[in-house]
Amino acid sequence: MPDRLLLLVVGPPAQAAGLTEHLTDPSLDIRVCVDVAEAVRVLQLVSPPGPRMVRAGALRLDPVAQEAELHGRRIPLPPRETRLLHLLMTNANHVVTREQIRETVWGADENNSSNTITVHIQRLRSRLGEDPEIIQTVRRLGYRLVPPPRRAKGN
């Protein structure tokens, strides 16, 4: 498939629809962002700085494909869980506060309920399966990703 061109439209979705309704070229990847902060997050996911893959022990993440891999098992992820896992993996073995998660994954301006982060962490733990200790809760602070060890060849 040929390369796709990313077109970011920043503004109210209703106005963006009017601007993009006649753009039908299949090589265009049109993303509507309500503000600049969201556009920056989209750009970071589409074109993350450094290598495309992020690795923490046996856990790998391809933020562009929105897919993780643990011990050879592919795990498709929705966009927010991809951003959440990316944040935790790039800060492996360090506590990431709930405020850092809220700002990075949801944006500082977005209003979400107090248990939104908890629910997304639970979903992510469930998807990762094997070891519930990969993502640890650090009481009253946030969360820490502990990279799962790589398995020896042949196991």
Quote the CA–CA distance of 38 and 117 in Å, as a whole number: 18
Q: What is the mean pLDDT of residues 81-95?
A: 95
Domain-located, residue 155: no
Residues 38 and 71 in one domain: no
Which of 69-83, 100-114, 120-134 tops mean pLDDT?
69-83
CATH of the domain at 112: 1.10.10.10
For the chain, state the CA radius of gyration: 17
Inside any domain, residue 52: no
Please check whether residues 22 and 68 belong to one and the same domain. no
Does a structural domain hold residue 151?
no
Q: pLDDT over 70 for what percent of the chain?
A: 85
Domain enclosing residue 66, as ranges? 57-145
Same domain, 84 and 139: yes
The yes-or-no verdict on residue 62 having pLDDT over 70 is yes
Q: What phi-psi label fits residue 57: left (phi over 0), alpha (psi between -120 and 50 degrees) or beta?
A: left
CB-based burial label for 84 (10 Å; 0-12, 13-18, 19+): buried
Query: Model confidence at 83, in pLDDT bands (50, 70, 90)?
Result: very high
pLDDT at 1: 37
* Domain tally, the chain: 2
Antiparallel, parallel or unpaired: β 95-97 and 67-70: unpaired
Query: Which amino acid type is present at position 3?
Result: D
For residue 35, count CB atoms less than 10 angstroms from its CB and return exposed for 0-12, middle for 13-18, buried for 19 or more.
middle
Residues 25-47, mean pLDDT to the nearest whole number: 79
When pLDDT is cut at 50, 70 and 90, the band that residue 150 belongs to is: confident
Q: Would you say residue 155 has pLDDT above 50?
A: yes
When mean pLDDT is compared across 33-37, 57-61, 78-82, the lowest value belongs to 33-37
Kindly report each contact of residues 109-117 with a partner whose C-beta sits within 8 Å and lies 24 or more positions away, as own/partner: 109/35, 109/37
**pLDDT of residue 78 exceeding 50:** yes
**Residue 128 CB: number of other CB atoms within 10 A?**
20
Average pLDDT score, the chain: 84
Identify whether residues 65 and 127 lie together within a single domain.
Answer: yes
Residues 123 and 80 in one domain: yes
